[in-house]
C-alpha cells in the first residue's frame, strides 16, 4: 500500500488505485462495480442494488430538463454521497422549492419462486414549494416529476447486479398535497407534496447465496 502523504493532500489517481486494489481484495466476486476516475467516487467500494436504485431515481429526475429548471441543484436534497447532513435546518426564500427523495419501508421475499427472490423498496418524493399558489410551483413540479418517472424503463432496467438486470417494476403510488407539513416547510408557508413510489427488484436466489 502506498504511504499517505504527510500533507494529507492525496493525488486522485493514487486514491483511485488504492480504492480499486482494496475493492478487489475484499470482494473478488463482485465484478463491474470498481470505482473509476470518471465518476470520481473512489470512496464507493461496493454499490449495492438498493443504493443503485436510489441513485438511478435521482438520475431520472435530474435528466428531465423541465424539472431541473424548476428546482435548483442546491435545493435537491440527496441522502447519498459525501454529504452526511444534507437537510437544511432553516430555509430562506432562495432555498425553495426544495425536492427530496426519501427511502421508506419495504418488503422482501426470500424465496418468491423456486429460483428467485425479490425486494420491494418504497421511496417518497417530497416537495416543499414555499408558495401558496398551486399554479406557481406545486402542480408544475408535480407534473414534471410524473413525466420524469415515466422514463423509468430505460434507466432502472439498465441497472445490473452480478451482471444481471434486476429491476422489474416501478409503481407510482398516492400523492398528498398540504400546507401543514412542518418537517418540509420549516416555518415558511406554502404547498408541499408527498408522493410515494415503489421499486421491485428480482434476483436469482443462487446468486444471492453463493
- Count Cα neighbours of 182 within 13 Å in the Cβ-side half-sphere: 0
Can you tell me whether residue 142 is helix, strand or coil?
Answer: helix
Q: For residues 141, 143, 148 and 150, what is the CA-based torsion angle, rounded to 10 degrees?
A: 160
Give the Cα-Cα-Cα angle 8, 32, 49 (nearest 5 degrees): 90
Burial 155-179 (b: 16+ CB within 10 A, else e): bbeebebbeeebbeebeeeebebee
Nearest CA among 178, 173, 193, 182 for reference residue 97? 193
- The pLDDT tens digits of the residues spanning 17-45 come to 444 444 444 444 444 444 444 544 544 55
In this prediction, residue 83 carries a pLDDT of: 87
DSSP helix, strand, coil percent of the chain (3-state; round to 5): 35, 25, 40
List, for residues 70-79, the tens digit of each pLDDT value: 999 999 999 9
103 pLDDT above the threshold of 90: yes
Write out the DSSP string of 158-186. Answer: T-EETTEE-EEEEEEEEEEEES--HHHHT
Residue identified by cell 415503489 is 198
pLDDT class for 182, splitting at 50, 70, 90?
Answer: low
Least reliable range by pLDDT among 100-109, 129-138, 178-187: 178-187
Task: Name the phi and psi angles at 126, rounded to 5.
Answer: -120, 130
CB 111 within 8 A of CB 119: no
**pTM metric for this prediction:** 0.76
Average pLDDT (150-160) is 96
Looking at 9-23, 94-108, 143-157, 191-205, which range is the least confident one? 9-23
pLDDT tens profile 121-136: 999 999 999 898 999 9
Length of the chain, in residues: 210
The three cell numbers of residue 58 are: 435521482
Domains of the chain in sequence order: 1-46 (no CATH), 48-209 (3.30.2000)
**pLDDT above 60 (res 11):** no
Amino acid at each position: 500500500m502506498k504511504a499517505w502523504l504527510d500533507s494529507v493532500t492525496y493525488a486522485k489517481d493514487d486514491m483511485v488505485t488504492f480504492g480499486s486494489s482494496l475493492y478487489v481484495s475484499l470482494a473478488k466476486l463482485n465484478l463491474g462495480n470498481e470505482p473509476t476516475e470518471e465518476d470520481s467516487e473512489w470512496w464507493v467500494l461496493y454499490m449495492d442494488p438498493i443504493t443503485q436504485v436510489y441513485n438511478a431515481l435521482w438520475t431520472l429526475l435530474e435528466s428531465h430538463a423541465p424539472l431541473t429548471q424548476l428546482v435548483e441543484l442546491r435545493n435537491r436534497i440527496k441522502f447519498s454521497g459525501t454529504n452526511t447532513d444534507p437537510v437544511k435546518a432553516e430555509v430562506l426564500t432562495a432555498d425553495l422549492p426544495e425536492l427530496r427523495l426519501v427511502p421508506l419501508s419495504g418488503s422482501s421475499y426470500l424465496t418468491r419462486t423456486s429460483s428467485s427472490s425479490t425486494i420491494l423498496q418504497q421511496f417518497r418524493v417530497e416537495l416543499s414549494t414555499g408558495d401558496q399558489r398551486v399554479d406557481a410551483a406545486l402542480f408544475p413540479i408535480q407534473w414534471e416529476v410524473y413525466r420524469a418517472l415515466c422514463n423509468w424503463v430505460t434507466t432502472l432496467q439498465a441497472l445490473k447486479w452480478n451482471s444481471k438486470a434486476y429491476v422489474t417494476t416501478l409503481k407510482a403510488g398516492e400523492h398528498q398535497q398540504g400546507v401543514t407539513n412542518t418537517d418540509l416547510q420549516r416555518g415558511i408557508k406554502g404547498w408541499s407534496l408527498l408522493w410515494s413510489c415503489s421499486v421491485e427488484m428480482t434476483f436469482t436466489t443462487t446468486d444471492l447465496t453463493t
